Amino acid sequence: MQLTLSPEQEALRKLAREFAEREVKPRAEAIDHTGEFPKDLVQKAADLGLLGILVPEEYGGAGLDHISFAIFVEEVARFCASTSVILDVHASVGTEPIVLFGSQDQRRRWLVDLAQGKKLAAFALTEPEAGSDAANLTSTAIRRNGGYLLNGTKIFISNAGEAGLYVIFATTRPGSGATGITAFLVGGDNPGLKVGPKFKKMGLNGSAIAEVYLENCVVDEADRLGQEGDGFRIAMRALDSGRIGISAQAVGLAQGALNDAVAYARERKQFGRPIAELQTIQNKLADMAVKIRAARWMTWKAAALCDAGQPFTREASMAKLFATDAAMDITLDALQVFGGYGYLEEYPMARRVRDAKACQIYEGTNQIQRMVIARELVRV
């Protein structure tokens, strides 16, 4: 793994940083307060070619690597985690399964629209009774008239109601666990797919998260992704690189918090001098910077292995675990540097704490990441 970015990755960082500073930063506070889904920012990201960052050029994407993807997510998350998770879910778990497992026909039918932002993507695995234990999902896909009839309920689905494509996981062999799970590509306009009201959440207020109901949802055989029984493997592979995105999001949240804490500490005077001169504040800032550096490199390491076609499940879980726990600590510490002001909603510190908490939970709780890491360690 190279420890410097390539000219292409640097160029991508410049583009993503300009987008984040010019478009995302001024909107972040309002998005959090109103809970508005930032459709316009999604479109602007699409116009810059950022939605199809992992889509090959032949399908209208940018065809970039996972380090570039991580940089993009990080840059946006420095200012607005809601926007970054919308873009991250779309680009990784929503779109990548088609890049990796789609037929030529499926790639042609979906990827161009997904890369150009004509459709947003969602990933629907979790169910009310099957969260961490994803293999135990009970949504069914029963063969009917040359296609499938899908029934069941999905929960905590990011981009629900906004997406034009849902990657849906259901069992074609009820009761047979992981081996019965099959993946389907279901259009947002399918009359058998309904979306519940947006959840009111602790944070990530601009991101639409809701239940998705499959009610006699008719899906053609041509919209089955992979073979019957391939679904669990597809979901796990999608989550492996999804976790790179969540790690990058955590790095961005933490970097944004550190940048603000440094600026504030230099300007805020107590005891006749800037608090940045106090060792107690300096220690906090230094610890934050070290954790961010480690988290970013762990994220890029997982991304580099993924790009090299090597196993990266463990590294993605390690990065997700470390980066999201670090983001939680760092956003809290940065808030503390702001003292009483940090507790006010007119500063971005409280929002970052609220948003960081989600990173320890979604795309596999950090308890599940430990399980994935430990299983590899003790495997006999």
Residues that bind ligand COS (CB under 6 A): 125-126, 132, 134-135, 156, 178, 232-233, 236-237, 239-240, 313, 362-364, 368, 371-372
Nearer to ligand COS, 181 or 275 (CB): 181
Least distance from ligand COS to the Cβ atom of residue 341, Å: 33
C-beta atoms surrounding 373 within 10 Å: 18
Q: Is 53 helix (H, G, I), strand (E, B) or coil?
A: coil
Is 363 catalytic? The answer is: yes
Nearer to ligand COS, 12 or 185 (CB): 185
Nearer to ligand COS, 23 or 307 (CB): 307
Nearer to ligand COS, 85 or 261 (CB): 85
Least distance from ligand COS to the Cβ atom of residue 114, Å: 18
d(CA 235, CA 99): 13
CA 308 and chain centroid, separation: 21
Instruction: Describe the chain by its helix, strand, coil percentages, rounded to 5.
Output: 60, 15, 25
Least distance from ligand COS to the Cβ atom of residue 130, Å: 9
Q: How far is CA 322 from CA 2, 299, 315, 366, in A?
A: 21, 9, 10, 9
CA angle 160, 165, 171 (to 5 degrees): 85
Nearer to ligand COS, 149 or 246 (CB): 246
Nearer to ligand COS, 23 or 240 (CB): 240
Least distance from ligand COS to the Cβ atom of residue 295, Å: 19
d(CA 88, CA 100): 17
Least distance from ligand COS to the Cβ atom of residue 44, Å: 25
Residue listed under structure tokens 């890029």: 300
d(CA 245, CA 362): 11
Query: Of residues 74, 75, 363, 376, which has the active-site annotation?
Result: 363
CA 65 and chain centroid, separation: 16
d(CA 25, CA 76): 8
CA angle 266, 296, 287 (to 5 degrees): 40
Q: What are phi and psi of 199, to 5 degrees?
A: -70, 145
CA 68 and chain centroid, separation: 14
Least distance from ligand COS to the Cβ atom of residue 231, Å: 10
Nearest to 178 by CA among 119, 237, 112, 218: 237
Nearest to 356 by CA among 320, 316, 317: 320
Closest-approach residue to ligand COS (CB) = 364
Residue listed under structure tokens 């919209």: 223
Q: Annotated catalytic sites, by residue?
A: 363
